[in-house]
Amino acid sequence: MKRRIFVVVALLSLIAAFSVSAQESPMTLRLASWQWEDPAYLPFWEGTTNAFMEANPNVTIERFAFPIDQLWNQINLQVAAGTPPELLEVTGFNVFEYMNLGVLAPLNDCFAGTDIVEKVDGEDSYAVDADGNIYALNLSARTLALWVNKPMFDAAGVEVPTNFEEFKAAAIALTNPAKEEFGLVLTNTAHSRFYESVLDMVVGYGGHWTKDGKPAFTEPEVIQGVQFFKDLFDAGVMPIGVDGAPSQYAFFNSGKVAMTIDGPWYWAVVSEQNPELAANIEIHRMPTDSGLPTGGPNNLIGIAAGLDDATFAVACEYIKSIATTEWGQVWTNSSGTINPIEGAVSEDYLIENPWFAFYAEDLANYVPVAAPGLEIYHGSLQTMINNKLVEVMYDDKPVEQAMAELQEEVEEFIADQM
């Protein structure tokens, strides 16, 4: 009898010890992000991870930090070695490739029984595959808009353009080579922003690189869009050789350029570098015929596939802990980009930053940046498209010919993937 009790007690204490140790056993998760050094996002990442570690003393969240260009190569190496960082921040561009190649784990089980799906605005706010599985939570959505240097417009007596015709006329009217003034600045060398700038024009004519999921470079809307950009380029209204965001910013910040197209994050840059100009900036709808902006989910977070259940469960808890209005506001307030969770854009923030209202409203209208149907090839497509566009701009290759070549190249590329 005594002996039996002893066995039971021993068993019970063993179980208790085991369950305690299971709960308390230290666990380390790595969170891969390119924003660990960025003051605009640090309040969110530091805040959420510290809060989570405080609530779960046995868990440590380590930074897996690299600048954005190198982060992917580092993550890919870790994936190839079978030891991916447990938590992955990804972009709206490579999320599709990661989803498609099984790098990310489905989050449906993780989100089951929560109201996260209802609270996050719109179904585009997750990376969802054809079967309706969710692979990542969207942290920030973005669109582009027209930024106007109002004093330059006023001095020249030009109205803010609302369609292609007015856009071109305004750009030409505001260009003054003698004073080194330009009507417009856009990236126009092989760079992701070049792809986007030209796509903005294509979308302005109501087209995209693909139609029904297939390459459609020879469609009239695409040709018109590329041709429009080429006409602007040839008209000398924009500085040439602009090789990415920094030089694009630098030109507009200098106060000698009347228009640029950019996202809400640019606000922080311009107000720091030229506060005087920032006070006189206006933000408007895209000056194209359709007026639609390009955009979409920008930063997302997911969990690496292939983790053991316990690790997955903790990673899931972390993601659930950041999908709240409170953290959404932290994100929006510190970064100036829209966290799609309900209430993330607070009244107070809008009162303090009236310029932001346009972005918050325009978000619903966006056309995705990655070619619909070919999202998983976004990186490769972007390189091919950019290289062809450089030929159009700088070698004067006729647009129709260039687009026909591109169509062939992309079709060949896709066939090669099958």
Partner 1 sequence: MSAFAAHSLEADLALKAQARRRKMIAGFGFFVLVVTSTIAVVYPFYWMVMASFTPEGYSLTNAPLLLPDRFSVEAYQSVFAERPLMTWLGNTIAVTLGGTAIVLPAALLASYGLNRFRFRGRMVFIFLVLLCQLLPASALIVPIFLIFRDYKLIDTTLGVTIAFTTFMLPMAIWVLWGYIQTIPHEFEEAAMVDGCNGLQAFIRVTLPLAMPGIAATALFIFLEGWNHYLLAFVLTSDTQQWVISLGLYSFIGQYVIEIEQMMATSVIAAFPALVVFAIMQRYLRGGLSLGGLKG
Partner 2 sequence: MTYTLRGRMIPYLLLAPAAVIMVLVIFYPMVYSAQISFTDAQLLRFSQREYIGLENYTRMLNRSDFWTSVGRTLTYTAGTVVISYTVGLFVAVILNQNFRMRWLVRTLMMIPWATPWLVVTLIWFVMFNPQIGPINQVLKGLGIIESGRTWLYSSDTAMLSIVITTSWRLFPAVTLILLASLQSIPSELYEAAEVDGANPRQRFLHITLPSIRTASITMITLLTIWSSKLFTIAWTLTQGGPGDATRVLSVYTYQEAFTNNRLGRGSSLAMLSFVLSLALVVTYFVLLRRDEKRVEP
Binding site for partner 1 (CB under 8 A): 34-35, 37-38, 64-70, 73-74, 77, 80-81, 244-247, 249-251, 253-254, 265-266, 269, 273
Give the residue among 350, 320, 317 at the shortest CA–CA distance from 332: 350
Query: 407 is written with which tokens?
Result: 């169509």
Between 270 and 389, CB nearer to partner 2? 389
Find the part of the chain contacting partner 2 (CB under 8 A) among 54-62, 145-153, 331-339, 389-397: 389-397
Query: 393 is written with which tokens?
Result: 């701009």
Please state, as a whole number, how many other Cβ atoms lie within 10 Å of the Cβ of residue 365: 14
Between 116 and 259, CB nearer to partner 1? 259
Question: Residue 2: which residues within 8 A CB-CB, separation 6 or more?
Answer: none
Which residue of 168, 193, 208, 388 would you call a contact of partner 2, by CB under 8 A?
388
* Secondary structure of residue 41 in the 3-state scheme: coil
* Residue carrying the six token digits 């709808």: 285
Name the minimum Å distance from CB 388 to partner 2.
7
Question: Residue 360: which residues within 8 A CB-CB, separation 6 or more?
Answer: 338, 345, 350
DSSP β-ladder status, 294-303 and 367-368: parallel
Binding mask 212-251 for partner 2 (x = CB under 8 A): ---------------------------xxxxx--------
Biggest CA pair distance of the chain: 104
**266 contact, one of partner 2, partner 1, none, CB 5-8 Å limit per kind:** partner 1
Regarding 102 and contact with partner 2 (CB under 8 A), the answer is yes
Regarding 395 and contact with partner 2 (CB under 8 A), the answer is yes
Name the minimum Å distance from CB 378 to partner 2.
10
Between 206 and 255, CB nearer to partner 1? 255
**103 contact, one of partner 2, partner 1, none, CB 5-8 Å limit per kind:** partner 2
**273 contact, one of partner 2, partner 1, none, CB 5-8 Å limit per kind:** partner 1
Name the minimum Å distance from CB 385 to partner 2.
11
Span 286-305, contacts to partner 2 by CB under 8 A: none
Q: How far apart are CA 329 and CA 211, in angstroms?
A: 37
Regarding 12 and contact with partner 2 (CB under 8 A), the answer is no
Helix (H) or strand (E) holding 193: helix 192-204
Between 68 and 350, CB nearer to partner 1? 68
**249 contact, one of partner 1, partner 2, none, CB 5-8 Å limit per kind:** partner 1
Regarding 347 and contact with partner 2 (CB under 8 A), the answer is no
Span 190-219, contacts to partner 2 by CB under 8 A: 190
- What are the angstrom distances between the C-alpha of 179 and each of 182, 278, 291, 364, 393? 9, 21, 31, 39, 24
Regarding 189 and contact with partner 2 (CB under 8 A), the answer is yes
Name the minimum Å distance from CB 354 to partner 1.
22
Give the residue among 233, 183, 164, 221 at the shortest CA–CA distance from 390: 233
Name the minimum Å distance from CB 192 to partner 1.
10
Binding mask 81-100 for partner 2 (x = CB under 8 A): xx--------------xx--
What does the DSSP assignment read for 226-285? HHHHHHHHHTT-S-S---SHHHHHHHHHTT-EEEEEE-TTHHHHHHHH-HHHHTTEEEE-
CA triplet 368, 394, 288: central angle to 5 degrees?
35
DSSP 106: P
Please state, as a whole number, how many other Cβ atoms lie within 10 Å of the Cβ of residue 227: 18
Between 56 and 254, CB nearer to partner 1? 254
Name the minimum Å distance from CB 77 to partner 2.
8
Contact (CB, 8 A) for 315 and 136 = no
Question: Applying CB under 8 A, which residues contact partner 2?
Answer: 73, 76, 79-82, 97-98, 101-103, 189-190, 239-243, 379-380, 383, 386-388, 390-391, 393-395
